[in-house]
Amino acid sequence: MRTRSMAGVLEKGFIMSDANVRIPAEARDRLAEVAAAEGLSLRAYLAHLAQTLLTPDERAERAERARHILREWNGYDPDDSEVAMADQELDRRLAEAGAA
């Protein structure tokens, strides 16, 4: 990825820089279509996406917070094997829904 700084240019409190990212044309076109449907430019859509996606560490932190809240609220405290079984069931259901 190549970036070019545009010092002094601010958008919503962030310093913006241009980045050239090589992706297949089909992926670019799909992203542009999704962005347009949301009323956004591709640039704005990608910036929004980058701000809203969670890293693996952030997802793990949220999951741990959720488990803590459930434990405090109703005593639900699954062990690792129960969590793994629930994850497998969720994966199965998502695959089933995707096939429909």
The per-residue pLDDT string of the chain (100 residues; one tens digit each, 9 = 90 and over) reads 444 444 434 455 666 778 888 999 999 999 999 999 999 999 999 999 999 999 999 999 999 999 999 999 999 999 999 989 999 999 999 999 988 6
The model's pTM: 0.57
State how far the Cα of 68 lies from the Cα of 100, in Å rounded to an integer. 35
State how far the Cα of 43 lies from the Cα of 19, in Å rounded to an integer. 10
**Residue among 59, 63, 98, 99 nearest 80 (CA):** 63
Long-range contacts of 28-32 (CB under 8 A, 24+ apart): none
Helix, strand or coil, per DSSP, at residue 90: helix
